[in-house]
Amino acid sequence: MIRNIAAYHFVPVDQPQALCDQLLSRADGLALRGTILVASEGMNLFLAGAPDAVDTFVSELRDDQRFADIVVKVSESDDQPFGRLKAKVKPEIISFRMPDASPIEGRAPAVSPTDLSRWLAQGTDDTGRRLVLLDTRNREEFAHGTFAGAETLPIDNFTDLPDAVLARREAWQDATVVSFCTGGIRCEKAALWMRSQGMDNVLQLDGGILGYFEAVGGQGYDGACFVFDGRVALDPTLAPVPTSTTIAEGDAHA
C-alpha cells in the first residue's frame, strides 16, 4: 500500500534553496517519490511512499513553525504513482504572474465543501443568489470531470485564466461565483486576483475538488478529478479511475 499526499502552504520563505535542499534530503532518506516545489512565497508538494515514511515526513514538516498548520490531503494506492523524486526552487509555487494575487497577504473568502454541497442541493447560496461554479483548471484536466453545469474556460495554462475570465465577468454579476481547482492552490491566487478586479462576488472552494471528495463525496460532480501523477484521475472515493476510462475521456475532449 502506498500513501499519497498533496499539500501547499503560502508563507514567506527567506532561503528557498536551503529549504528545498532540506526537504529533498529528508524525502530521499524516507524513500519517497514525487515533486517538491519551493519559492519565496511558500511550498507545494506531491509525494508518495510507505505510509509510515509519509507520516514521518509530514510530522517533521509540521515541526517547522512555518508549516505547523499545513493542510495535507491523503489518498491511498496499490502502486507508486511517481517514477522519481525531484525538488525545485521556482519564482512561484504555482505560476500565475499577476499582481494583486499574493495569498501571503490574506486569502479570498472561502466556502466549505459541506456548505457548497448544501448550496448545490438547494440551487442557490444562503442569500438566494444563483450559483456559478468556475473551473479554473485547463482543458486537459476538466475533460476528466467537473461539477455539473460548471463554467469551464478555453485555456491550456493557468496564466491564460485572466483574459478568459474578463471576457465573461459581465455574465456573472448577479451570481455567487465559486472558483475551484484540484486541491485549492490555483484558486488561492485566482480568487484574490478576481476580487482585485472588482469581482467581489467571488469565493474559493476550500480544499478544492479533492477536499470536496474527502468531505462530502461526489454530490454534484460529474466524472473524475485529474491528478498530476501516474494514477491520472481519482473518483469521488479518491480511488484511481481505470486507465482505459481516463484515456477515452481525454481523447474525446481533444
**Among candidate residues 222, 221, 223, 242, the one with its CA nearest the CA of residue 231:** 242
Residue 169: per-residue pLDDT: 95
Residue 243: per-residue pLDDT: 63
Among the four given CATH numbers 3.20.20.70, 3.50.4.10, 3.40.250.10, 1.10.287.130, the one describing domain 103-253:
3.40.250.10
Q: Is there a contact between 179 and 136 (Cβ–Cβ < 8 Å)?
A: yes
Residue 38: per-residue pLDDT: 98
Q: Please say if 187 is a catalytic residue.
A: no
The neighbour count for residue 71, using CB atoms within 10 Å, is 13
CA distance 143 to 224: 9
Q: Tell me the one-letter amino acid at 141.
A: E
Residue 201 backbone class (left: φ over 0; alpha: ψ -120 to 50; beta: rest): alpha
CA distance 21 to 27: 10
Residue 250: per-residue pLDDT: 32
Q: Tell me the one-letter amino acid at 143.
A: A
CA distance 231 to 4: 11
Instruction: Supply the pTM of this predicted model.
Output: 0.91
Q: Which three cell numbers stand for residue 154?
A: 478555453
Q: Tell me the one-letter amino acid at 146.
A: T
Residue 68 backbone class (left: φ over 0; alpha: ψ -120 to 50; beta: rest): alpha
Domain 2-89 belongs to what topology?
Alpha-Beta Plaits (3.30.70)
Residue 252: per-residue pLDDT: 24
Strands 145-147 and 175-180: unpaired
Q: Which three cell numbers stand for residue 218?
A: 461526489
Residue 242: per-residue pLDDT: 81
3-class SS of residue 87: strand
Q: What percent of the chain has pLDDT over 70?
A: 95
Domain chopping of the chain, boundaries: 2-89, 103-253
Q: Is there a contact between 202 and 179 (Cβ–Cβ < 8 Å)?
A: yes
Catalytic residue, from 20, 181, 187, 225: name it.
181
Task: Point out the residues of the chain with pLDDT beneath 70.
Answer: 243-254
**Among candidate residues 59, 9, 66, 72, the one with its CA nearest the CA of residue 30:** 59
Q: What percent of the chain has pLDDT over 90?
A: 94
Residue 63: per-residue pLDDT: 98
**What is the tens place of the pLDDT at every residue in 161-191?**
999 999 999 999 999 999 999 999 999 999 9
Residue 229 DSSP one-character state: S
